[in-house]
């Protein structure tokens, strides 16, 4: 199936590794010119080497929302208008909900929420001018079923749900779709780190923690990053032009609620 992405430019935030890199690979395989944004040039270069087509690499720590407008202007000057935006940031540290310093909440709200909103606002003029655009924000299954000891992620990513839904209704008449992709347990370095952290806190083996997690997933396995990336690429496709304001779960059926 041709997703109709040839000639489109896709900006993938956090495109150097994990779910961002997987999304970038899928978009590149469909013919999009992918702009990989991330903090580490070596990681970006390794990600770019996996792409089906040449990419543009932008070293950018997106945690400062005030810099978004200028950085998007620089990218636009280099590659032209942006048609697809994949919003993706690393997860905040594991923590309970109670007793966290306000500074910690503020820091991660700025980097996880305000930065993505500012980046999105900065690229919208390109999409409005084209009468076509795709915005996909990667969050977590924790926005539907909060995950124990991930209070920062559960709370902050949930604020993106209301923003994304509201934005989708504002932009639908302009030919721009706005959706969210919610990963469950996808086999990334982030997931391994969480599993190792849980094993350490509970004085258990990593193998025991993984076995317990797999037992809760109807498919009985962790998802592959490229399975997640394929879902993001579909949401960016011309075939998905009537899907907006949605949250797509890529979780192997782990969330039991409808």
Report whether pLDDT(258) > 90: no
Report whether pLDDT(109) > 90: yes
What percent of the chain lies above the pLDDT cut of 70?
100
pLDDT tens-digit map of 11-36: 999 999 999 999 999 999 999 999 99
Q: What are the backbone dihedrals phi and psi of residue 134, each rounded to the nearest 5 degrees, phi first?
A: -135, 125
Rounded to whole angstroms, the Cα distance separating 207 from 212 reads 9
- Mean pLDDT within 51-61: 96
Phi-psi map region of 226: left, alpha, beta (phi>0 left; psi -120 to 50 alpha): alpha
pLDDT confidence tier of residue 108, bands split at 50, 70 and 90: very high
pLDDT confidence tier of residue 1, bands split at 50, 70 and 90: confident
Q: What is the average pLDDT value for the chain, to the nearest integer?
A: 96
C-alpha Rg value of the chain to the nearest Å: 18
- Mean pLDDT within 112-139: 98
CA-wise closest residue to 47 among 71, 75, 19 = 19
In Å, how far are 28, 187, 202, 247, 254 from 117, measured between CA atoms? 24, 27, 37, 17, 29
Rounded to whole angstroms, the Cα distance separating 256 from 217 reads 10
Specify whether the CB–CB gap between 111 and 160 falls below 8 A.
no
pLDDT tens-digit map of 74-99: 999 999 999 999 999 988 999 999 99
Put simply, whether the predicted model's pTM sits higher than 0.85 gets the answer: yes
The whole-number pLDDT of residue 91 equals 87
CA-wise closest residue to 91 among 14, 9, 7, 174 = 14
Where are the extended beta strands (E) located within the chain? 9-13, 33-38, 56-59, 84-87, 133-138, 176-183, 247-250
């Amino acid at each position: 199936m041709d997703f109709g992405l040839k000639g489109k430019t896709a900006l993938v935030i956090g495109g150097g590794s994990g779910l961002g890199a997987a999304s970038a690979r899928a978009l590149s395989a469909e013919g999009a010119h992918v702009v990989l944004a991330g903090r580490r040039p070596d990681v970006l270069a390794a990600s770019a080497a996996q792409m089906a087509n040449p990419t543009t690499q932008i070293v950018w720590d997106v945690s400062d929302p005030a810099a978004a407008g200028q950085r998007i202007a620089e990218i636009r000057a280099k590659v032209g208008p942006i048609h697809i935006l994949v919003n993706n940031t690393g997860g905040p540290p594991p923590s309970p909900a109670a007793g966290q310093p306000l500074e910690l909440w503020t820091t991660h709200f700025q980097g996880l929420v305000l930065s993505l909103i500012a980046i999105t606002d900065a690229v919208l003029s390109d999409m409005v001018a084209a009468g076509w655009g795709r915005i996909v924000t990667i969050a977590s299954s924790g926005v539907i079923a909060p995950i124990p000891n991930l209070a920062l992620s559960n709370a902050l990513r949930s604020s993106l749900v209301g923003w994304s839904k509201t934005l989708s209704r504002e932009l639908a008449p302009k030919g721009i779709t706005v959706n969210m992709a919610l990963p469950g347990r996808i086999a990334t370095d982030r997931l391994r780190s969480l599993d190792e952290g849980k094993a350490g806190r509970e004085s258990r083996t990593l193998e025991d923690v993984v076995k317990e997690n797999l037992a809760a997933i109807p498919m009985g396995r962790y998802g592959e990053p490229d399975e997640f990336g394929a879902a993001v690429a579909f949401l960016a496709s011309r075939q998905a032009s009537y899907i907006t304001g949605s949250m797509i779960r890529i979780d192997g059926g782990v969330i039991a609620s409808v």
